[in-house]
Structure 1
Amino acid sequence: MESLAYIHLVEAYEQPIEQSPSPRVKLPKFTARGLFAFVSCALTASSLGVARPAFALLRPGESGETVAKLQYRLGELGYFQNSYTGYYGEATSDAVREFQRHNGLKDDGIVGEKTQAALDKIYPQPAPATTQPTVRFGDQGATVFRIQRQLSSLKYFDYKQMNGQFDEATEAAIKQFQADKELAVDGVVGEKTHMALANLTGL
């Protein structure tokens, strides 16, 4: 009897133990279109934290060489009649608004991507150096401002002094440039000085 009981005990022990199936996590079923939309949303969300604006705005209150260049371009197009101070004040904002109205843009006085694109499209290219007029102390205008830009890019002139006026500071910078480039040091920007400035700056 004891042997029989032992056999039954062994048989019971060796029976495979049925384990309850592990609960399965049901994943949502996506159609191909739904999966594409889900992935697109995820990628968009992940990129929001590192997005950068496509174009840096210029707005009232700013200052610097970029503003002075804007004033120069607006002056060349007949929208800006003041000195090229490099400060984005009321006169610059008014000129930008007028330009925007004439070109079918929102007249907010701010240079954004569309306004910049319009300027790039219609702004006339600088004339070749050989056709530039001779300028000297006392002259003023767009040609003088371009010369100041060239001198500034070559570190002969402080961009904060760019005003379109051929003043003493401009004359001194021209003389130093002429001396360094072995040109006639007369402080007058004639054909050779124009050519040297253009070749060295591309402006």
Structure 2
Amino acid sequence: MRRIGRLALAGALLAMAGCSTLLPSSKETVESPWKSFDEAKAAYEKILPGITTMADLKGLGFDPVASPNLQILTYLDVAATLLAIPPEELDEGLRQCLRARTNCRAYVFEPKRLHTKRIGNFWLDFFNFRRMSYETGWRFKALLVLVDGQVTYKLWSGAPHIEEFRDQRNPLGPFQGANDMLFRLL
């Protein structure tokens, strides 16, 4: 009887130690012609305010019709964003937008590639005692302001190298969020 108990304990310990390949992983991609942050920024750098047109933008991969998750702003959206900046301190391209009113459009492009992988012990993760994940990738954000189909202003931001580790511990395991489940059921 003791021998069976020891074998069961050894089997349980082996099972608890492995199985990390059973943990889920995910990818989050906003489709774009760029495979990296550097490619997106290089395309952005080719945009020249006062020269680049809507047709040029499409050729560079900034296509307002085909790009997913694109945000389109009116001149009122742009104006609301700029309220805290005195008009005399605004870039000329932004002032042109505000003067052009309905002939102004701004576009916010946000391509990204993120890969999240759960790591650690399968059983601790499965029973919600401890969930660890590792996320890598990049994000790029470009604001392009156009008046009558010509770029008048551009601005970019982003994260060229994302590397995040998350470690969530739940001492009560599967019962950690039990009160939330009860409220949802009611």
TM-score, length of structure 1 as denominator length: 0.29
Structure showing greater relative contact order (alpha-carbon pairs closer than 8 Å, 6 or more residues apart) = 2
Q: Which has the larger radius of gyration?
A: 1
More helix by share: 1
TM-score, length of structure 2 as denominator length: 0.31
